[in-house]
Amino acid sequence: MRVLIFGATGLLGRPLLSEWKEDEVRGVGSKDVDIRDVEQVREAVESARPDWIVNAAAYTDVDGCESNRELAFAVNCRGAVNIARAAKSCGSRVLLISTDYVFDGLSTSPYETGHPRAPRSVYGHSKAQMEEEIEKLYPTACIVRTAWLFGVGGKCFPDTILKLTAARSEISVVDDQRGSPTHAPDLARAIIALCRAGASGIVHATNSGECTWFEFAREIVHDAGLSTVVRPTTSDKFVRPAPRPKYSVLSPRSLHAYGVAMPHWKDALRDYLRARHEAGIS
């Protein structure tokens, strides 16, 4: 199987490249191909002639999207549509990454794939519109929604917490937002399995279990063997440009339907800390 990965230098793209064995895999980053450019995308796809294309490229600065709406939609929506259109033209299957931010965060039980979209941020709107356009353009495409992504070598919540604890004896973290942390290598393995299974439609993929950001931070500090005190606080103490979902746990039912399951987020965190240590990151 031939595979082409867009966004191959990012937080998810790197583990996709390293985890994908036994297939012919090519990765391109933003310096190689600007997915906003139709011709660049078309040339990359026609050159690779892949059986599957995975789009891991995105503008994921949630707060930055609020003040850069045009860029958010250009990358997250139109860029993804460019990829899907090129894939369809070449007869390639395509898998695109979406987010829990397509929901309003008002639920009290895990979101199923068919729950109505109701984004509250520019980032969420850009991804929701992408989903809607892809469903019309390429109905057999696979859209994988994920949440709270973290991994070695990129900006993510555990990295931020570990940097804060190096400078402070006490930190406060919001305890009124609940979701499921997702380790990039675990998500990469799930995506590989979905492609090999010929997945289509919307699939939810996160590590199992759920927690608040405070509970996640407390576990990070504990597992890292640090003495920093982590205290709970509320979202109104940390006002951000983009609204955050209060609840964004995604149901794994759609993932399990393909015989794919992901580890618990606590096990994933330990894997992350181990990989971070092996990479020599303090």
In a domain, 215, yes or no: no
Q: Is the pLDDT of residue 210 over 80?
A: yes
Beta strands (DSSP E) in the chain are 2-6, 24-28, 52-55, 93-99, 142-146, 149-150, 170-174, 178-179, 182-183, 201-204, 211-212, 229-233
pLDDT tens digits, 32-78:
999 999 999 999 999 999 999 999 999 999 999 999 999 999 999 99
Structural domain range at position 10:
2-152+181-208+244-264
Catalytic residue among 59, 101, 111, 123: 123
CA distance to 13, 132, 192, 250, per residue, from 187 (Å): 10, 23, 9, 14
DSSP codes joined into one string, 102-167: GS-S--SSPBPTTSPP---SHHHHHHHHHHHHHHHH-TT-EEEEE-SEE-TTS--HHHHHHHHHHH
**Rounded to whole angstroms, how far apart are CA atoms 49 and 53?**
9
pLDDT tens digits, 77-127:
999 999 999 999 999 999 999 999 999 999 999 999 999 999 999 999 999
Give the pLDDT confidence score for residue 75 in this predicted structure. 98
Half-sphere exposure of residue 179, counting CA atoms within 13 Å on the CB side? Answer: 27
Residue 20 belongs to domain with CATH number = 3.40.50.720
**Catalytic residue flag (residue 138):** no
* Average pLDDT along the chain: 97
Instruction: Give the pLDDT mean for 262-269.
Output: 98
Give the pLDDT confidence score for residue 275 in this predicted structure. 97
CA distance to 26, 159, 271, per residue, from 152 (Å): 21, 8, 10
Instruction: Give the pLDDT mean for 131-141.
Output: 98
Q: To the nearest whole percent, how much of the chain has pLDDT over 70? A: 100
Give the pLDDT confidence score for residue 238 in this predicted structure. 86
**Rounded to whole angstroms, how far apart are CA atoms 220 and 255?**
26
In a domain, 172, yes or no: no
In a domain, 102, yes or no: yes
Residue showing tokens 């309003």: 104
In a domain, 106, yes or no: yes
In a domain, 232, yes or no: no
Q: What is the DSSP letter of 250?
A: B
Q: Is the pLDDT of residue 278 over 90?
A: yes
CA distance to 140, 158, 218, 226, 238, per residue, from 221 (Å): 43, 9, 5, 5, 20
Instruction: Give the pLDDT mean for 26-36.
Output: 97
Instruction: Give the pLDDT mean for 253-280.
Output: 97
Q: Is the pLDDT of residue 282 over 80?
A: no
Instruction: Give the pLDDT mean for 174-185.
Output: 98
Instruction: Give the pLDDT mean for 251-274.
Output: 98
Instruction: Give the pLDDT mean for 252-258.
Output: 98
pTM surpassing 0.95?
yes
User: 247 has which bridge partners?
Assistant: 178
Q: Is the pLDDT of residue 144 over 80?
A: yes
Question: Residue 182: CB partners within 8 Å, gap ≥ 6?
Answer: 146, 147, 148, 149, 150, 205, 206, 207, 262, 265, 268
In this structure, what is the dihedral angle of CA atoms 231, 233, 238, 243, given to the nearest 10 degrees? 130
The total of structural domains in the chain comes to 1
Instruction: Give the pLDDT mean for 12-39.
Output: 97
In a domain, 272, yes or no: no
Q: To the nearest whole percent, how much of the chain has pLDDT over 90? A: 97
Q: Is the pLDDT of residue 185 over 80?
A: yes
**Rounded to whole angstroms, how far apart are CA atoms 21 and 192?**
9
In a domain, 99, yes or no: yes
Residue showing tokens 């390429």: 138
